[in-house]
Amino acid sequence: MPFIRELVVILSLFFVGSAKARSIQHPTRDGLYTNRPIIGILAHDIDDDIIKKYGKSFIPASYVKYLESAGARVVPIRDNLTSDELKSLFLKINGVLFPGGDSDLWKSGYARTGAAIFDLAMEANDNGDVFPLWGTCLGFQLLHVRAAKGKDVLTKCSGENVSLPLNFTDGYKDSRMFRNAHNDVTQDMAKLGVTLNMHVNCVTVETYEKESSLSSFFKKLSTNMDKDDKVKFVSTVEGLKYPFYGTQWHPEKNQFEWTYEENINHSSEAVKVAQYVANFFVDQARLSKHRFSSREEESAALIYNYQPIKCFPDVTHYEQCYFF
């Protein structure tokens, strides 16, 4: 009888341990490693004294909702993590989104942390460890600055508060980003003003022609002219070697930002385009093998531990924000 009781205890511990393992390693379809992707969003520094009372850094809630709409969960990446803290977190998440904003691309915590993530992602992918990055607006520019090894590759342009159709480059349909897109999605992107631009700096086509560090790193998928019809800038890219993606435009705003001061297209076509892009990036994150070691560790890191607050119009121009 004592032997039977011991056997029952051993078997129960085995099955409990197996259940915990299954809570982290979930079955997927061929080629994917997780159906529970967790994506980090890099926070921005706060310099404004009025906003500092809320926290040291923040993330607009629209980026969180955007990723959640495609089936991902979000972990905030504070911009003051130590190197060891960042490396540890990197090994547990399945991708990172660099959001738009107005942080300095060389001196800020956003820039320093983004550069470290960029290097970690390159090293991981070089070793066969798939880890995708996405850059939106300022994040798009950050990807380019890092690809150019810190060089300033930005040009002043008039690209603020205008929703534009994309001018696709030759061969864009062969890209990872668009090869599986339905024709109605890409046709809407090419014919309708469904991509909101909110930038005063651009990465120009001319810069791509001069800077081999960019043309050898990224494939241009679309371009646009600025509002003054003077500057031709690159608006959508993907890495040639790495699963790094970027849009100078803001897909998340079509669904989740509502200020009247911005010329955001909220049409069904615009929402469909934004959802396609979100779905694509989250699917890229499903290729990552990274995972938290336990449910408890995972739960403690998620954005659910923070509450967004109403920001517009008194705090920021975003509808809601998370502060850290």
Bond into 37 cis (ω within 30): no
The bridge status of strand 155-164 relative to strand 249-250 is: unpaired
Beta strands in 137-256 (DSSP E): 155-164, 167-168, 195-202, 218-225, 232-239, 244-247, 249-250
CA-CA distance, 76 to 96, in Å (whole number)?
10
CA-CA distance, 190 to 76, in Å (whole number)?
33
Burial of 80: CB neighbours in 10 Å, binned 0-12, 13-18, 19+: middle
The H helix count followed by the E strand count for the chain is: 12, 15
Check 202, 250, 311, 321 and give the catalytic one. 250
Check 44, 137, 290, 321 and give the catalytic one. 137
311 in catalytic set = no
250 in catalytic set = yes
**Sheet with strand 195-202: strands edge to edge:** 155-164, 195-202, 249-250
Report, as residue numbers or ranges, the catalytic residues: 137, 250
